[in-house]
Amino acid sequence: MSSKTTPLHFNAFVMNTASHIHHGQWRRPDAGQTEFNDVNTWIDLAKLLEAAKFDAMFFADVSGLYGDADADFDVYVTEGLQIPSNDPTVLLSALAVHTEHIGLALTSNVAQNHPFNFARQLSTLDHISNGRIAWNIVTGVQDNGARNFGLPKLTDHAERYEWAEEYVDVTYKLWEGSWDDDALIKDRERGVFSDPSKIHKIHHVGKRYRVEGPHLPSPSPQRTPLLYQAGSSESGRRFAARNAEATFIIAPSPAIAAELIADTRRLAVSYGRNPDDIKFFQGLSFVIGDTQEEAEAKALEYEQYVSVDGYSAHSAIVDKTGRVYAADTPLKDVDTNTAKGFVEWVSQHITDREPIVADLALSRSRDTRIVGTPESIADTIAEWQAAGVDGINVINWVIPGSFAEFADKVLPVLRARGLAQSEYSEGTLRQKLFGQSLINDRHPAARYRGAFSDGSPISQTYVEPIEAKS
């Protein structure tokens, strides 16, 4: 079913590191991502994106190293594969003060921050940015990323999503229920800064957390930041259907995206939400030429920089000791239990010779890559919209070049077709996407509005009701 979203939304998909997705490209002379430690790299990019009317900068993040935590991690360090990396939560405060309209989205998983303090950080950022913050809710993907927070390894998949449900429940209570709208008074005459009868403890007691409250920040412009989610398994889709206002997907084709979108929207309705309470953002990268031949030639040039080790390591095509296979290793000799389906898929598509590991890397670098002229790229983007996609997360090869080129060459064609905005609409990030600043009444966070005002325990998800302390 075609998306009703016109114009589409466009986010710049980035990470505060040198080698985020397209590994090896940091070696190019025009790769500014090597200077990720310089805040001006990101401030300049934010200004470029805002001038081009991108909807948001969308920062990925991880809390550790990829691969088996007991395995060798040399390849990640050699490749700069998401290490070193800096914390997007801190960086976004700098970007907020240098921009006015563009949304600022950060990824954080349920292990890397305690929900009480994380809710406080996001409220602070939402105040600083005047309501432009979004949170990409992820459950984590790394054993090391879990071990850095005291866990023995990555929590099992289903339990990670149960954990995420309680995590967001705590944040919803803090963001939506702890402060009434008129609690902050600042009455110099009477010497009353806030009204204590309008600020409430949340008394959360759950399987993983005990959080008394109240929330320390006063309500920010959005209260609950715009909520993204990334994760497309059955559990991932159910979590998104209950909690996400936007989900980030990397479907291999518009047809598969259409199935994923229809299923998630159907689930959202079963949870009492509307189908269009969720917007879907597809990750795509672009190689742009004034002619198709020029675009193809540029694609070959990018492929000269492809790091087989980088893509192999990121796709967990590693042996038991964590070492990547040599590029000329026949795929039949690859022993992996994490990417078996991908290895088999690539093998099926190479029939004229023995498929090797280098073919996997090349296939990864071409995943959801569109090579063409601005017009042909706009045609393809329209096909994703027809599949139900509401926005595109633009994946870069180089910073800022990939975004500057997309802004200069493709966005004008999309604007002429009504597929990209020419101006920002007023208001907060949620106002721009959904026409209202606060999360809608169909979302589970809304049930906590006013829920603690009389101090009585409320029907709480994932926690036993407790006698609210008088």
Ligand X SMILES: Cc1cc2nc3c(=O)[nH]c(=O)nc-3n(C[C@H](O)[C@H](O)[C@H](O)COP(=O)(O)O)c2cc1C
Least distance in Å: CB of 315 to ligand X?
A: 13
Least distance in Å: CB of 408 to ligand X?
A: 26
Nearest residue (CB) to ligand X, 103 versus 283: 283
Nearest residue (CB) to ligand X, 125 versus 202: 125
Q: ∠ CA(139), CA(141), CA(143), 5° rounding?
A: 115
Tokens, residue 147: 């071990």
CA atoms of 4 and 264, how far apart (whole Å): 16
Q: Residue 450: left (phi > 0), alpha (psi -120 to 50), or beta?
A: left
| Of the candidate residues 232, 315, 402, 421, the single one contacting ligand X (CB under 6 A) | 232
Q: Does 231 bind ligand X (CB under 6 A)?
A: yes
Nearest residue (CB) to ligand X, 283 versus 374: 283
Least distance in Å: CB of 46 to ligand X?
A: 19
Rounded to the nearest angstrom, the gap between the alpha carbon of residue 47 and the centroid of all alpha carbons in its chain is: 20
Least distance in Å: CB of 249 to ligand X?
A: 6
Least distance in Å: CB of 77 to ligand X?
A: 19
Q: How many residues bind ligand X (CB under 6 A)?
A: 19
| Of the candidate residues 206, 213, 217, 283, the single one contacting ligand X (CB under 6 A) | 283
Nearest residue (CB) to ligand X, 112 versus 431: 112
Q: Does 88 bind ligand X (CB under 6 A)?
A: no
Q: Does 286 bind ligand X (CB under 6 A)?
A: no
Which positions ≥6 away from 293 have C-beta within 8 Å? Answer: none
Nearest residue (CB) to ligand X, 141 versus 184: 141
Residue numbers 92-121 binding ligand X by CB under 6 A: 107, 109
Q: Which residue has the tokens 């920089």?
A: 305
Residue numbers 236-265 binding ligand X by CB under 6 A: 236, 248-250
DSSP at 218: P
Least distance in Å: CB of 242 to ligand X?
A: 13
Q: Does 233 bind ligand X (CB under 6 A)?
A: yes
CA atoms of 311 and 304, how far apart (whole Å): 14
Least distance in Å: CB of 236 to ligand X?
A: 2
Residue numbers 121-150 binding ligand X by CB under 6 A: 138-141
Question: What residue number has its CB nearest to ligand X?
Answer: 236
Least distance in Å: CB of 250 to ligand X?
A: 4
Phi, psi of 162 (to 5 degrees): -65, -40
Nearest residue (CB) to ligand X, 249 versus 394: 249
Which positions ≥6 away from 371 have C-beta within 8 Å? Answer: 286, 287, 289, 292, 295, 296, 298, 299
Nearest residue (CB) to ligand X, 11 versus 220: 11
Least distance in Å: CB of 31 to ligand X?
A: 20
DSSP at 286: E
CA atoms of 142 and 148, how far apart (whole Å): 10
Nearest residue (CB) to ligand X, 135 versus 179: 135
- DSSP assignment of 164-215 equals HHHHHHHHHIIIIISB-TT-EEEETTTTEEE-GGGB----EEBSS-EE----
Least distance in Å: CB of 440 to ligand X?
A: 24
Nearest-Å Rg of the Cα atoms of the chain is 23
Q: Does 60 bind ligand X (CB under 6 A)?
A: yes
Stretch binding ligand X (CB under 6 A), from 21-29, 224-232, 269-277, 327-335: 224-232
| Of the candidate residues 14, 21, 230, 370, the single one contacting ligand X (CB under 6 A) | 230
CA atoms of 20 and 17, how far apart (whole Å): 6
Least distance in Å: CB of 56 to ligand X?
A: 14
Cβ proximity of 370 and 252 under 8 Å: no
Nearest residue (CB) to ligand X, 61 versus 169: 61
Stretch binding ligand X (CB under 6 A), from 25-33, 58-66, 271-279, 365-373: 58-66
Residue numbers 61-80 binding ligand X by CB under 6 A: 61-62
Nearest residue (CB) to ligand X, 117 versus 338: 338
CA atoms of 258 and 6, how far apart (whole Å): 17
DSSP at 140: -
**Of 57, 12, 4, 56, residue with least CA distance to 278:** 4
Q: H or E segment at 247?
A: strand 246-249
Q: What do you get for the CA distance between the two ends of the chain, in Å?
A: 52
The site for ligand X (CB under 6 A) is made up of 60-62, 107, 109, 138-141, 230-233, 235-236, 248-250, 283
